[in-house]
Amino acid sequence: MNANQIINMIIRQVTRRLINKGVNTGINMATSGGKPREEMSPAERKQARQARQAAKRARQAARLSRRMR
């Protein structure tokens, strides 16, 4: 393995982590309606939590379906 391949591998790993973090942050912002937790009513908090759990299950299902291919 030469230096170029190692550098590319590291860059891909860092990029993947940053993109995943951005996607997760975007999903959390979308599920909370862009409001901070302190500004939400208890009903809104419950709905946001349920939406985050649904998004988590969707990511798990996507991961599982990729493994089955």
pTM summary value: 0.58
pLDDT given for residue 25 in this prediction: 84
**DSSP reduced 3-state for 2:** coil
- Asked if residue 33 lies in contact with residue 48, where contact means CB atoms within 8 angstroms, the answer is yes
The rounded distance, in Å, linking the Cα atoms of 38 and 1 is 51
pLDDT given for residue 23 in this prediction: 85
- Exposure letters 28-57 (e unless 16+ CB within 10 A, then b): eeebbeeeeeeeeeeeeeeebeebbeebee
pLDDT given for residue 8 in this prediction: 95
The rounded distance, in Å, linking the Cα atoms of 26 and 6 is 30
pLDDT given for residue 14 in this prediction: 96
The rounded distance, in Å, linking the Cα atoms of 55 and 24 is 9
